[in-house]
Amino acid sequence: MSIKKQFRDGLIDNNPVLVQRLGLCSTMAITTTLFNGIGMGISVLIILTCCNVVISAMRKIIPNDIRIAIFVVVIAGFVTIVDLLLQAFVPALSASLGVFIPLIVVNCIIIGRAEAFCQNEPVIPSFFDGIFQGIGYTVTLVLMCIVRELLGNGSFGGGLLDVSQGALRLTLDGSGSGIQVFSSEYAATILIMPFGGFLTLAVLLAAMQFALRKADEKKEKALRAAKVLVDEEVAA
């Protein structure tokens, strides 16, 4: 499998959230600010990549009967490392994400990639699979954060960006108020509530399925045209 195809799979064709529909709980729960979305996405990307590499390297010595238990142990180890690093260096993000960081242990994206890909593939492809699947997950979170925060609160970049004395600065302590695009009194507050997570995700899922269906139809049309051309050349 080429790196280009792996990148397309992670971002579009086999996106972990919008196509595989994995990790939906955390996706809907934490996507209220860009700070949360980027933090969760990067955390999952790091854990997924590390787990993919270790599981792939161990794939020939892992007994088939206990492979899921071993996957969980490996995942739990890296989740603990990332959780402690967040508590030490980005405590605001750790507090904001709360229980959803430890729950990465049972995130279906990571277990699913271990089961479907890493136990059958070498280390290098597994490494890139973790990177690209993590990017696909992060991009989905960021899209949901932008939509929910902007339309639900009228702002952008809450917790991550701050405007003070006319200057825009990046904050890592979660204190950034974000950029106020329009007054919050005109915002659809329901979008930053739990129902808003379901609604936003449903719209993104529908948009992705529509785009994939159109792409398949276009590909089928091109194949039929090529087949007709070949038949005409053979007949001639």
pLDDT per residue as tens digits for the range 7-40: 999 999 999 999 999 989 889 999 998 999 999 9
Ranking 1-5, 20-24, 164-168, 221-225 by mean pLDDT, the lowest is 164-168
Give the structural domain span for 164. Answer: 3-235
d(CA 16, CA 12): 9
Largest interatomic CA distance in the chain: 76
State how many domains the chain has.
1
Model pTM?
0.91
194-219 CB burial, b ≥16 within 10 A, e <16:
eebbebbbeebbeebeeeeeeeeeee
- Mean pLDDT of all residues belonging to the chain: 90
The CA-to-CA distance between both ends of the chain, in Å, stands at 38
The per-residue pLDDT for 236 is 65
Would the pLDDT of 165 be above 80?
no
141-151 CB burial, b ≥16 within 10 A, e <16:
bebbbbbbbbb
Would the pLDDT of 222 be above 90?
no
Rounded to an integer, the average pLDDT of 227-236 is 75
Rounded to an integer, the average pLDDT of 94-120 is 90
Alpha helices (runs of H) in the chain, residue ranges in sequence order:
3-8, 24-30, 34-58, 67-89, 91-97, 108-113, 123-153, 194-235
Q: pLDDT-derived band of residue 226, with 50, 70 and 90 as boundaries?
A: confident
3-class state of residue 11 by DSSP: helix
d(CA 35, CA 33): 5
pLDDT per residue as tens digits for the range 58-79: 999 999 999 999 999 999 999 9
C-alpha 190 chain-centroid distance? 23
- The partner residues of 156 in beta bridges, in order of sequence, read 179
Rounded to an integer, the average pLDDT of 216-222 is 89
